[in-house]
Protein backbone atom coordinates (compact mmCIF):
# COMPACT_ATOMS: atom_id res chain seq x y z
CA UNK A 1 0.00 0.00 0.00
CA UNK A 2 1.61 3.28 -1.06
CA UNK A 3 1.00 6.84 0.02
CA UNK A 4 -1.02 7.67 -3.11
CA UNK A 5 -3.63 5.02 -2.32
CA UNK A 6 -4.05 6.27 1.23
CA UNK A 7 -4.21 9.84 0.01
CA UNK A 8 -7.06 8.80 -2.27
CA UNK A 9 -8.70 7.03 0.61
CA UNK A 10 -8.86 10.05 2.91
CA UNK A 11 -9.30 12.91 0.45
CA UNK A 12 -11.63 11.63 -2.26
CA UNK A 13 -14.48 11.02 0.12
CA UNK A 14 -14.18 14.58 1.45
CA UNK A 15 -14.07 15.99 -2.07
CA UNK A 16 -17.23 14.03 -2.89
CA UNK A 17 -18.97 15.61 0.07
CA UNK A 18 -17.77 19.05 -1.03
CA UNK A 19 -19.19 18.54 -4.53
CA UNK A 20 -22.40 17.24 -3.02
CA UNK A 21 -22.77 20.59 -1.21
CA UNK A 22 -22.21 22.75 -4.26
CA UNK A 23 -23.75 20.62 -7.03
CA UNK A 24 -26.58 19.13 -5.03
CA UNK A 25 -26.26 15.52 -3.95
CA UNK A 26 -29.13 14.39 -6.13
CA UNK A 27 -27.48 15.24 -9.43
CA UNK A 28 -25.92 12.35 -11.31
CA UNK A 29 -22.51 14.02 -11.25
CA UNK A 30 -22.34 14.32 -7.48
CA UNK A 31 -23.59 10.77 -6.98
CA UNK A 32 -20.93 9.47 -9.37
CA UNK A 33 -18.29 11.34 -7.35
CA UNK A 34 -19.59 9.87 -4.12
CA UNK A 35 -19.76 6.38 -5.62
CA UNK A 36 -16.22 6.59 -7.00
CA UNK A 37 -14.88 7.74 -3.64
CA UNK A 38 -16.66 4.97 -1.77
CA UNK A 39 -15.53 2.39 -4.33
CA UNK A 40 -11.96 3.61 -3.84
CA UNK A 41 -12.42 3.35 -0.09
CA UNK A 42 -13.73 -0.20 -0.42
CA UNK A 43 -10.86 -1.15 -2.73
CA UNK A 44 -8.25 0.14 -0.30
CA UNK A 45 -9.97 -1.71 2.56
CA UNK A 46 -9.90 -4.94 0.56
CA UNK A 47 -6.21 -4.41 -0.23
CA UNK A 48 -5.50 -3.93 3.47
CA UNK A 49 -7.44 -7.11 4.23
CA UNK A 50 -5.75 -9.28 1.62
CA UNK A 51 -2.19 -8.00 1.44
CA UNK A 52 0.40 -9.83 3.50
CA UNK A 53 2.13 -6.72 4.72
CA UNK A 54 0.41 -3.54 3.53
CA UNK A 55 2.55 -0.66 4.69
CA UNK A 56 2.99 3.04 4.02
CA UNK A 57 6.27 4.80 3.41
CA UNK A 58 7.25 6.12 6.83
CA UNK A 59 8.96 9.18 5.32
CA UNK A 60 6.49 10.48 2.74
CA UNK A 61 3.05 9.14 3.63
CA UNK A 62 2.31 10.93 6.95
CA UNK A 63 3.19 14.35 5.56
CA UNK A 64 1.20 13.72 2.37
CA UNK A 65 -1.85 12.63 4.36
CA UNK A 66 -1.65 15.65 6.69
CA UNK A 67 -1.15 18.06 3.78
CA UNK A 68 -4.21 16.67 1.99
CA UNK A 69 -6.36 16.82 5.11
CA UNK A 70 -5.06 20.28 5.99
CA UNK A 71 -5.94 21.66 2.55
CA UNK A 72 -9.41 20.16 2.71
CA UNK A 73 -9.83 21.49 6.25
CA UNK A 74 -8.91 24.99 5.07
CA UNK A 75 -11.29 24.89 2.08
CA UNK A 76 -14.22 23.59 4.12
CA UNK A 77 -13.52 25.98 7.00
CA UNK A 78 -13.47 29.02 4.72
CA UNK A 79 -16.70 27.80 3.10
CA UNK A 80 -18.25 27.34 6.55
CA UNK A 81 -17.14 30.78 7.76
CA UNK A 82 -18.46 32.48 4.62
CA UNK A 83 -21.78 30.65 4.99
CA UNK A 84 -22.11 32.12 8.51
CA UNK A 85 -21.06 35.64 7.50
CA UNK A 86 -24.52 37.16 7.82
CA UNK A 87 -25.12 38.39 11.35
CA UNK A 88 -21.47 37.93 12.32
CA UNK A 89 -19.36 40.87 13.44
CA UNK A 90 -16.28 41.79 11.42
CA UNK A 91 -14.02 40.97 14.36
CA UNK A 92 -15.47 37.47 14.68
CA UNK A 93 -15.21 36.96 10.93
CA UNK A 94 -11.50 37.91 10.88
CA UNK A 95 -10.82 35.79 13.99
CA UNK A 96 -12.35 32.65 12.45
CA UNK A 97 -10.49 33.11 9.16
CA UNK A 98 -7.21 33.79 10.97
CA UNK A 99 -7.43 30.75 13.25
CA UNK A 100 -8.45 28.45 10.37
CA UNK A 101 -5.50 29.69 8.30
CA UNK A 102 -3.14 29.37 11.27
CA UNK A 103 -4.22 25.76 11.84
CA UNK A 104 -3.39 24.95 8.23
CA UNK A 105 -0.07 26.82 8.29
CA UNK A 106 0.92 25.06 11.50
CA UNK A 107 0.23 21.64 9.98
CA UNK A 108 2.13 22.76 6.87
CA UNK A 109 5.09 23.79 9.04
CA UNK A 110 5.03 20.37 10.65
CA UNK A 111 5.09 18.71 7.22
CA UNK A 112 7.89 20.91 5.86
CA UNK A 113 9.83 20.61 9.13
CA UNK A 114 10.67 24.30 9.21
CA UNK A 115 13.72 24.82 11.46
CA UNK A 116 12.82 25.62 15.09
CA UNK A 117 9.13 25.49 14.18
CA UNK A 118 8.09 21.79 14.33
CA UNK A 119 8.40 21.57 18.12
CA UNK A 120 5.63 24.13 18.50
CA UNK A 121 3.73 23.29 15.31
CA UNK A 122 1.67 20.45 16.81
CA UNK A 123 0.51 22.51 19.78
CA UNK A 124 -0.13 25.56 17.61
CA UNK A 125 -2.19 23.51 15.14
CA UNK A 126 -4.35 22.07 17.93
CA UNK A 127 -4.72 25.43 19.67
CA UNK A 128 -5.63 27.34 16.50
CA UNK A 129 -8.08 24.68 15.31
CA UNK A 130 -9.58 24.67 18.80
CA UNK A 131 -9.87 28.47 18.78
CA UNK A 132 -11.69 28.36 15.45
CA UNK A 133 -14.09 25.69 16.70
CA UNK A 134 -14.66 27.62 19.93
CA UNK A 135 -15.50 30.61 17.75
CA UNK A 136 -18.14 28.57 15.93
CA UNK A 137 -19.79 28.00 19.32
CA UNK A 138 -19.63 31.48 20.85
CA UNK A 139 -19.23 33.86 17.88
CA UNK A 140 -21.63 32.33 15.35
CA UNK A 141 -25.41 32.32 15.67
CA UNK A 142 -26.68 29.05 17.16
CA UNK A 143 -28.41 26.95 14.48
CA UNK A 144 -32.02 25.85 14.83
CA UNK A 145 -31.52 22.13 15.20
CA UNK A 146 -33.25 19.67 17.49
CA UNK A 147 -29.94 18.13 18.63
CA UNK A 148 -28.96 21.26 20.55
CA UNK A 149 -32.45 21.70 21.99
CA UNK A 150 -32.61 18.10 23.21
CA UNK A 151 -29.07 18.00 24.65
CA UNK A 152 -29.32 21.42 26.30
CA UNK A 153 -32.73 20.90 27.89
CA UNK A 154 -31.86 17.27 28.64
CA UNK A 155 -28.80 18.40 30.63
CA UNK A 156 -30.93 20.89 32.54
CA UNK A 157 -33.54 18.20 33.23
CA UNK A 158 -30.92 15.79 34.56
CA UNK A 159 -29.41 18.45 36.84
CA UNK A 160 -32.91 19.11 38.18
CA UNK A 161 -33.11 15.46 39.23
CA UNK A 162 -35.80 14.50 36.69
CA UNK A 163 -35.93 11.51 34.34
CA UNK A 164 -34.96 12.81 30.91
CA UNK A 165 -36.69 9.83 29.26
CA UNK A 166 -40.05 11.03 30.62
CA UNK A 167 -39.55 14.61 29.44
CA UNK A 168 -41.20 16.31 26.44
CA UNK A 169 -38.87 18.62 24.52
CA UNK A 170 -40.15 21.70 22.67
CA UNK A 171 -40.62 21.51 18.92
CA UNK A 172 -38.56 24.10 17.04
CA UNK A 173 -39.60 23.15 13.50
CA UNK A 174 -42.38 24.27 11.19
CA UNK A 175 -45.20 21.98 10.12
CA UNK A 176 -43.46 21.01 6.87
CA UNK A 177 -40.17 20.34 8.65
CA UNK A 178 -41.88 18.16 11.26
CA UNK A 179 -43.35 16.04 8.46
CA UNK A 180 -39.98 15.82 6.69
CA UNK A 181 -37.91 15.06 9.81
CA UNK A 182 -40.30 13.05 11.99
CA UNK A 183 -43.01 11.89 9.57
CA UNK A 184 -45.93 12.65 11.89
CA UNK A 185 -47.68 15.89 12.88
CA UNK A 186 -48.12 14.59 16.41
CA UNK A 187 -44.67 15.98 17.10
CA UNK A 188 -45.82 19.57 16.47
CA UNK A 189 -46.60 19.90 20.14
CA UNK A 190 -43.16 18.67 21.18
CA UNK A 191 -40.78 15.74 21.02
CA UNK A 192 -41.73 13.32 23.81
CA UNK A 193 -38.48 11.39 23.83
CA UNK A 194 -34.74 11.71 24.41
CA UNK A 195 -33.16 9.75 21.52
CA UNK A 196 -29.64 9.33 22.95
CA UNK A 197 -28.16 6.76 25.37
CA UNK A 198 -27.49 8.06 28.91
CA UNK A 199 -23.72 8.43 28.43
CA UNK A 200 -24.25 11.11 25.76
CA UNK A 201 -26.30 13.05 28.29
CA UNK A 202 -23.65 12.67 31.01
CA UNK A 203 -20.97 13.92 28.63
CA UNK A 204 -23.09 16.92 27.61
CA UNK A 205 -23.65 18.12 31.17
CA UNK A 206 -20.11 19.57 31.69
CA UNK A 207 -20.49 21.60 28.51
CA UNK A 208 -23.90 22.81 29.65
CA UNK A 209 -22.37 23.95 32.95
CA UNK A 210 -19.66 25.81 31.00
CA UNK A 211 -22.27 27.68 28.96
CA UNK A 212 -22.98 25.43 25.98
CA UNK A 213 -23.26 21.65 25.55
CA UNK A 214 -21.03 21.93 22.47
CA UNK A 215 -18.06 22.74 24.73
CA UNK A 216 -18.06 19.03 25.68
CA UNK A 217 -17.79 18.09 22.01
CA UNK A 218 -14.96 20.56 21.52
CA UNK A 219 -12.98 19.27 24.51
CA UNK A 220 -13.33 15.67 23.31
CA UNK A 221 -12.16 16.64 19.82
CA UNK A 222 -9.13 18.49 21.18
CA UNK A 223 -8.19 15.51 23.34
CA UNK A 224 -7.98 13.16 20.33
CA UNK A 225 -4.63 14.43 18.92
CA UNK A 226 -2.99 14.22 22.36
CA UNK A 227 -4.30 10.69 22.96
CA UNK A 228 -2.99 9.55 19.57
CA UNK A 229 0.30 11.32 20.18
CA UNK A 230 0.63 9.37 23.41
CA UNK A 231 -0.30 6.04 21.81
CA UNK A 232 1.52 5.95 18.48
CA UNK A 233 5.16 5.97 19.71
CA UNK A 234 4.59 2.55 21.34
CA UNK A 235 2.84 1.22 18.22
CA UNK A 236 5.33 2.65 15.70
CA UNK A 237 8.80 1.87 17.07
CA UNK A 238 11.43 4.10 15.55
CA UNK A 239 8.99 6.70 14.22
CA UNK A 240 10.15 10.29 14.44
CA UNK A 241 8.33 12.70 16.70
CA UNK A 242 7.26 14.76 13.68
CA UNK A 243 5.80 11.64 12.03
CA UNK A 244 3.76 10.79 15.13
CA UNK A 245 2.48 14.36 15.42
CA UNK A 246 1.53 14.51 11.75
CA UNK A 247 -0.53 11.34 12.06
CA UNK A 248 -2.09 12.47 15.34
CA UNK A 249 -3.54 15.62 13.79
CA UNK A 250 -5.49 13.83 11.03
CA UNK A 251 -8.85 13.31 12.85
CA UNK A 252 -8.94 16.89 14.19
CA UNK A 253 -8.62 18.26 10.65
CA UNK A 254 -11.71 16.44 9.39
CA UNK A 255 -12.81 18.92 6.68
CA UNK A 256 -16.45 19.62 7.79
CA UNK A 257 -15.48 19.73 11.48
CA UNK A 258 -16.88 23.27 11.76
CA UNK A 259 -20.36 22.03 10.89
CA UNK A 260 -19.88 19.09 13.25
CA UNK A 261 -19.21 21.32 16.27
CA UNK A 262 -21.68 24.06 15.36
CA UNK A 263 -24.60 21.62 15.23
CA UNK A 264 -23.59 19.71 18.36
CA UNK A 265 -23.46 16.34 16.62
CA UNK A 266 -22.33 13.63 19.01
CA UNK A 267 -19.95 11.66 16.77
CA UNK A 268 -17.05 13.56 18.37
CA UNK A 269 -17.64 11.42 21.49
CA UNK A 270 -17.19 8.24 19.41
CA UNK A 271 -13.86 9.36 17.99
CA UNK A 272 -12.69 10.38 21.47
CA UNK A 273 -13.60 6.93 22.83
CA UNK A 274 -11.72 5.18 19.99
CA UNK A 275 -8.61 7.30 20.64
CA UNK A 276 -8.92 6.64 24.38
CA UNK A 277 -9.00 2.89 23.74
CA UNK A 278 -5.91 3.11 21.52
CA UNK A 279 -4.06 5.13 24.17
CA UNK A 280 -4.67 2.58 26.93
CA UNK A 281 -4.08 -0.39 24.63
CA UNK A 282 -0.71 0.99 23.47
CA UNK A 283 0.39 1.41 27.09
CA UNK A 284 -0.58 -2.12 28.06
CA UNK A 285 -3.46 -1.07 30.33
CA UNK A 286 -5.85 -3.84 29.30
CA UNK A 287 -8.52 -3.14 31.94
CA UNK A 288 -8.62 0.57 31.11
CA UNK A 289 -8.71 -0.32 27.41
CA UNK A 290 -11.77 -2.49 28.08
CA UNK A 291 -13.37 0.38 29.99
CA UNK A 292 -12.79 2.55 26.91
CA UNK A 293 -14.47 -0.10 24.72
CA UNK A 294 -17.48 -0.04 27.06
CA UNK A 295 -17.43 3.76 26.83
CA UNK A 296 -17.44 3.50 23.02
CA UNK A 297 -20.28 0.98 22.94
CA UNK A 298 -22.45 3.12 25.25
CA UNK A 299 -22.54 6.18 22.99
CA UNK A 300 -24.98 5.15 20.25
CA UNK A 301 -27.67 2.56 19.69
CA UNK A 302 -25.79 1.08 16.71
CA UNK A 303 -22.37 0.95 18.43
CA UNK A 304 -23.48 -2.30 20.04
CA UNK A 305 -22.87 -3.85 16.60
CA UNK A 306 -19.39 -2.33 16.50
CA UNK A 307 -18.31 -4.20 19.63
CA UNK A 308 -17.99 -7.43 17.62
CA UNK A 309 -14.56 -6.59 16.11
CA UNK A 310 -13.24 -5.89 19.61
CA UNK A 311 -14.50 -9.24 20.90
CA UNK A 312 -13.22 -11.27 17.94
CA UNK A 313 -9.91 -9.56 17.34
CA UNK A 314 -8.69 -8.77 20.86
CA UNK A 315 -9.51 -12.23 22.26
CA UNK A 316 -10.87 -11.14 25.62
CA UNK A 317 -10.73 -14.15 27.95
CA UNK A 318 -10.06 -12.88 31.49
CA UNK A 319 -13.25 -12.31 33.54
CA UNK A 320 -11.84 -8.99 34.75
CA UNK A 321 -11.64 -7.66 31.19
CA UNK A 322 -15.25 -8.69 30.59
CA UNK A 323 -16.27 -6.96 33.82
CA UNK A 324 -14.42 -3.80 32.76
CA UNK A 325 -16.07 -3.99 29.35
CA UNK A 326 -19.55 -4.12 30.92
CA UNK A 327 -18.87 -1.52 33.63
CA UNK A 328 -19.64 1.65 31.66
CA UNK A 329 -22.79 0.38 29.87
CA UNK A 330 -24.21 -1.00 33.13
CA UNK A 331 -23.30 2.03 35.25
CA UNK A 332 -24.79 4.53 32.79
CA UNK A 333 -27.95 2.63 31.88
CA UNK A 334 -28.90 1.03 35.21
CA UNK A 335 -30.18 4.19 36.99
CA UNK A 336 -32.65 4.88 34.19
CA UNK A 337 -33.70 1.24 33.98
CA UNK A 338 -34.46 1.23 37.69
CA UNK A 339 -36.44 4.47 37.31
CA UNK A 340 -38.62 2.84 34.65
CA UNK A 341 -37.24 0.67 31.85
CA UNK A 342 -40.18 1.24 29.52
CA UNK A 343 -39.54 4.98 29.16
CA UNK A 344 -35.88 4.62 28.17
CA UNK A 345 -36.44 1.70 25.78
CA UNK A 346 -39.31 3.53 24.10
CA UNK A 347 -37.26 6.72 23.70
CA UNK A 348 -34.19 4.95 22.30
CA UNK A 349 -36.23 2.99 19.74
CA UNK A 350 -39.07 5.45 19.12
CA UNK A 351 -37.55 7.28 16.15
CA UNK A 352 -36.77 4.20 14.08
CA UNK A 353 -39.95 4.75 12.05
CA UNK A 354 -39.09 8.27 10.88
CA UNK A 355 -39.22 8.72 7.09
CA UNK A 356 -36.30 8.55 4.70
CA UNK A 357 -34.45 11.86 4.48
CA UNK A 358 -34.09 12.69 0.81
CA UNK A 359 -31.05 14.85 1.59
CA UNK A 360 -29.26 11.86 3.08
CA UNK A 361 -25.79 11.02 1.75
CA UNK A 362 -26.69 7.40 1.11
CA UNK A 363 -27.65 4.99 -1.62
CA UNK A 364 -31.29 4.87 -0.48
CA UNK A 365 -31.96 8.60 -0.94
CA UNK A 366 -30.37 8.55 -4.39
CA UNK A 367 -32.54 5.67 -5.56
CA UNK A 368 -35.67 7.41 -4.35
CA UNK A 369 -34.93 10.76 -5.99
CA UNK A 370 -33.13 9.66 -9.12
CA UNK A 371 -35.17 6.59 -10.00
CA UNK A 372 -38.33 6.81 -7.93
CA UNK A 373 -37.69 3.50 -6.18
CA UNK A 374 -40.25 3.17 -3.35
CA UNK A 375 -38.33 2.70 -0.13
CA UNK A 376 -40.75 2.81 2.76
CA UNK A 377 -38.56 0.46 4.76
CA UNK A 378 -34.78 0.61 5.21
CA UNK A 379 -34.50 -3.03 6.28
CA UNK A 380 -33.69 -4.53 2.84
CA UNK A 381 -30.76 -2.18 2.31
CA UNK A 382 -29.49 -2.69 5.83
CA UNK A 383 -29.76 -6.46 5.46
CA UNK A 384 -27.80 -6.50 2.20
CA UNK A 385 -25.14 -4.19 3.64
CA UNK A 386 -24.72 -6.21 6.82
CA UNK A 387 -24.61 -9.51 4.89
CA UNK A 388 -21.80 -8.17 2.69
CA UNK A 389 -19.96 -6.89 5.74
CA UNK A 390 -20.42 -10.23 7.49
CA UNK A 391 -18.85 -12.13 4.62
CA UNK A 392 -15.86 -9.77 4.48
CA UNK A 393 -15.42 -9.72 8.25
CA UNK A 394 -15.50 -13.50 8.39
CA UNK A 395 -12.53 -13.61 6.03
CA UNK A 396 -10.72 -10.94 8.01
CA UNK A 397 -11.29 -12.66 11.35
CA UNK A 398 -10.08 -16.01 10.00
CA UNK A 399 -6.94 -14.34 8.66
CA UNK A 400 -6.24 -12.29 11.78
CA UNK A 401 -6.28 -15.19 14.23
CA UNK A 402 -2.80 -16.10 13.03
CA UNK A 403 -1.57 -12.49 13.04
CA UNK A 404 0.63 -10.90 15.73
CA UNK A 405 -0.97 -8.39 18.14
CA UNK A 406 0.11 -5.35 16.12
CA UNK A 407 -1.57 -6.69 13.02
CA UNK A 408 -4.72 -7.53 14.98
CA UNK A 409 -5.01 -3.90 16.07
CA UNK A 410 -4.80 -2.75 12.46
CA UNK A 411 -7.51 -5.20 11.42
CA UNK A 412 -9.65 -4.01 14.31
CA UNK A 413 -9.85 -0.48 12.90
CA UNK A 414 -10.32 -1.86 9.40
CA UNK A 415 -13.32 -3.82 10.66
CA UNK A 416 -14.75 -0.78 12.44
CA UNK A 417 -14.42 1.26 9.24
CA UNK A 418 -16.11 -1.39 7.10
CA UNK A 419 -19.01 -1.87 9.52
CA UNK A 420 -19.54 1.85 9.90
CA UNK A 421 -19.41 2.45 6.15
CA UNK A 422 -21.89 -0.32 5.34
CA UNK A 423 -24.30 0.79 8.04
CA UNK A 424 -24.62 4.39 6.86
CA UNK A 425 -24.24 4.00 3.11
CA UNK A 426 -27.27 1.70 3.21
CA UNK A 427 -29.18 3.86 5.74
CA UNK A 428 -32.03 6.32 5.32
CA UNK A 429 -30.19 8.94 7.38
CA UNK A 430 -26.51 9.55 6.70
CA UNK A 431 -24.84 12.94 6.77
CA UNK A 432 -21.34 14.39 7.11
CA UNK A 433 -21.38 13.92 10.88
CA UNK A 434 -22.09 10.19 10.50
CA UNK A 435 -19.03 9.79 8.27
CA UNK A 436 -16.69 11.51 10.73
CA UNK A 437 -15.97 8.30 12.71
CA UNK A 438 -15.36 6.49 9.43
CA UNK A 439 -12.68 8.99 8.38
CA UNK A 440 -11.20 8.87 11.91
CA UNK A 441 -11.03 5.05 11.86
CA UNK A 442 -9.33 5.18 8.46
CA UNK A 443 -6.90 7.83 9.69
CA UNK A 444 -5.93 5.60 12.62
CA UNK A 445 -5.69 2.64 10.26
CA UNK A 446 -3.32 4.61 8.03
CA UNK A 447 -1.27 5.63 11.07
CA UNK A 448 -0.94 2.01 12.23
CA UNK A 449 0.21 1.01 8.74
CA UNK A 450 3.20 3.37 8.58
CA UNK A 451 6.54 1.63 8.19
CA UNK A 452 9.22 2.05 10.78
CA UNK A 453 11.80 4.69 9.91
CA UNK A 454 15.39 5.06 11.02
CA UNK A 455 16.10 7.47 13.84
CA UNK A 456 17.74 10.74 12.73
CA UNK A 457 21.46 10.92 13.31
Provide mean pLDDT across the span 178-194.
Answer: 77
* pLDDT: which is higher, 323 or 354: 323
- 406 lies in a domain? yes
- 71 lies in a domain? yes
Q: Are 147 and 265 in contact (CB under 8 A)?
A: yes
Whether the per-residue pLDDT at 279 is higher than 90: the answer is yes
Sign of the CA dihedral with 29 first, then 30, 35, and 36 last: positive
CA distances from 127 to 104, 106, 116 (A): 12, 10, 18
Residue-averaged pLDDT of the chain:
78
- 318 lies in a domain? yes
Whether the per-residue pLDDT at 132 is higher than 90: the answer is yes
C-alpha dihedral over 299, 304, 306, 312, to 10 degrees? 130
Total domains, the chain:
1
- 293 lies in a domain? yes
- Report which of 61, 177, 57, 123 is spatially closest to residue 452, judged by C-alpha positions: 57
First to last CA, the chain: 28
* pLDDT: which is higher, 51 or 200: 200
Q: Which domain holds residue 343?
A: 3-448
Q: What is the DSSP string of 298-333?
A: TS-STHHHHHHHHHHHHT--SHHHHHHHHHHHHHHH
Q: The pTM is what?
A: 0.86
- 455 lies in a domain? no
Give the whole-angstrom CA distance, residue 270 versus residue 379: 24
Q: Please, which residues have CB within 8 angstroms of residue 379's CB and are 6 or more apart in sequence?
A: none
- 394 lies in a domain? yes
- 144 lies in a domain? yes
Q: Are 154 and 264 in contact (CB under 8 A)?
A: no
Give the whole-angstrom CA distance, residue 453 versus residue 243: 9
Whether the per-residue pLDDT at 153 is higher than 90: the answer is yes
- 234 lies in a domain? yes
At 280-298, the pLDDT tens digits run: 999 988 899 999 999 999 9
Calculate what percentage of the chain has a pLDDT beyond 90: 28
Give the whole-angstrom CA distance, residue 402 versus residue 185: 55
Q: How many CB atoms lie within 10 A of CB 49?
A: 18
Amino acid sequence: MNAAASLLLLSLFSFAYAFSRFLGFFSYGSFVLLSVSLASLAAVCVLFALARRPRLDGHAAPGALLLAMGLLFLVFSVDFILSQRRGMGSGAFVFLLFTAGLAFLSSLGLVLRVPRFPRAAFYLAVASAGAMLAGTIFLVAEPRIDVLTVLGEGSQTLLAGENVYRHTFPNIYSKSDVLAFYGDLKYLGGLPRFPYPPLVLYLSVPGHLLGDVRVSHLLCLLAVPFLLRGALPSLLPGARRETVEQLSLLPLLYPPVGYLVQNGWTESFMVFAAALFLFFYARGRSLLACLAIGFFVSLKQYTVCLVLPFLFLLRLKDWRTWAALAAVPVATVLPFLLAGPGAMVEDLTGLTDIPLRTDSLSLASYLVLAHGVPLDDNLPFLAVGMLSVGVLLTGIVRKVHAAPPGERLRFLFLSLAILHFAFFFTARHAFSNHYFPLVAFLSILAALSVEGEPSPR
